[in-house]
């Protein structure tokens, strides 16, 4: 039984198919967020796109309107700022036909925690934790009374294995995953048809790594996935009611195995993760 807004396809590949309603996507101007926007637009979903870069949001919105004939609105906002987050939360809470929220906005930093700029670390926690918390709260208060909708938190496979140079990123993505599991339990206990999902991708082709100056050649090509592949697995998982989606067999295997290891062995594995080779100028973070 699928809630309104979650229609089961009879094709070989099930797809999330939006009914009448609006999807809100943060960090929508590039990478996984942009891939979500394009995938949902192809399904006829109305969109509210949120990101800091107003020019790129406007260009993407214009393209999607012209190509798919859908309603696309934009909101330029920095979700790590109190003002930007307040405006975004108001927009989410004021979307009466809200069908889907994708909390995708995020960034990484490089270097040892104690050597980094504290303000950047605080900004990461505000964006990954407080923004996700506040927008999810606003969304669920729209969705639960209506008995339909979904929330996707774009976390990371880093939620399952920590690494040096990456402390805050791994910690915040772990929080997003644990938070989602708790919400899943609450919604199931309530008998709600609203769905939540923690999406935990590994290395994904996007600007995320380019901004950090990552040399992709130092990481095996078979570890990389395209953003559209990640999004398709996420939407299939949402339709099937899966609260945790880890795209790619290698990453599902890794998360399963590493989570069962004794602590000493897990620490040894974490110390040898492939990110170490990719650090340029002091380290890097993967989504």
Active site positions, annotated: 169
Helix segments in the chain, DSSP class H: 31-42, 54-68, 82-93, 118-125, 132-146, 167-190, 207-211, 227-239, 249-258, 263-271, 275-278
Q: How far apart are CA 186 and CA 191, in angstroms?
A: 9
Helix (H) or strand (E) holding 73: strand 72-76
Q: How far apart are CA 29 and CA 58, in angstroms?
A: 9
At 45 the three-state DSSP class reads: coil
At 51 the three-state DSSP class reads: strand
At 201 the three-state DSSP class reads: coil
| Number of Cβ within a 10 Å radius of residue 46 | 18
Q: How far apart are CA 202 and CA 245, in angstroms?
A: 11
């Amino acid at each position: 039984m699928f809630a309104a807004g979650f229609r089961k396809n009879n094709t070989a590949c099930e797809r999330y198919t939006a009914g009448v309603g609006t999807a809100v996507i943060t960090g929508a101007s590039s990478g996984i967020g942009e891939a979500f926007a394009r995938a949902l637009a192809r399904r006829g979903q109305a969109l509210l796109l949120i990101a800091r870069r107003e020019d790129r949001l406007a260009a993407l919105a214009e393209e999607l309107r012209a190509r798919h004939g859908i309603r696309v609105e934009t909101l330029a906002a920095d979700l790590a700022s109190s003002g930007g987050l307040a405006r975004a939360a108001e927009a989410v809470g004021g979307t009466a036909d809200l069908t889907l929220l994708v909390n995708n906005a995020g960034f990484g930093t490089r270097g040892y925690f104690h050597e980094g700029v504290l303000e950047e670390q605080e900004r990461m926690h505000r964006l990954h934790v407080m923004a996700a918390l506040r927008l999810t709260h606003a969304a669920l208060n729209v969705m639960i009374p209506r008995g339909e909708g979904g929330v996707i938190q774009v976390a990371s496979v880093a939620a399952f294995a920590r690494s040096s140079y990456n402390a805050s990123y791994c910690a915040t993505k772990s929080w997003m995953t644990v938070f989602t599991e708790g919400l899943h339990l609450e919604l199931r206990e309530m008998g709600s048809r609203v769905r939540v999902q923690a999406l935990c991708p590994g290395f994904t082709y996007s600007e995320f790594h380019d901004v950090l100056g990552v040399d992709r050649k130092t990481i095996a090509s078979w570890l990389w996935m395209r953003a559209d592949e990640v999004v398709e697995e996420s939407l299939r998982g949402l339709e099937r009611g899966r609260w945790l989606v880890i795209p790619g067999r290698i990453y599902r295997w890794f998360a399963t195995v590493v989570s069962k290891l004794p602590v000493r062995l897990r620490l040894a594995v974490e110390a040898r993760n492939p990110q170490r080779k990719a650090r340029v100028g002091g380290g890097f973070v993967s989504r």
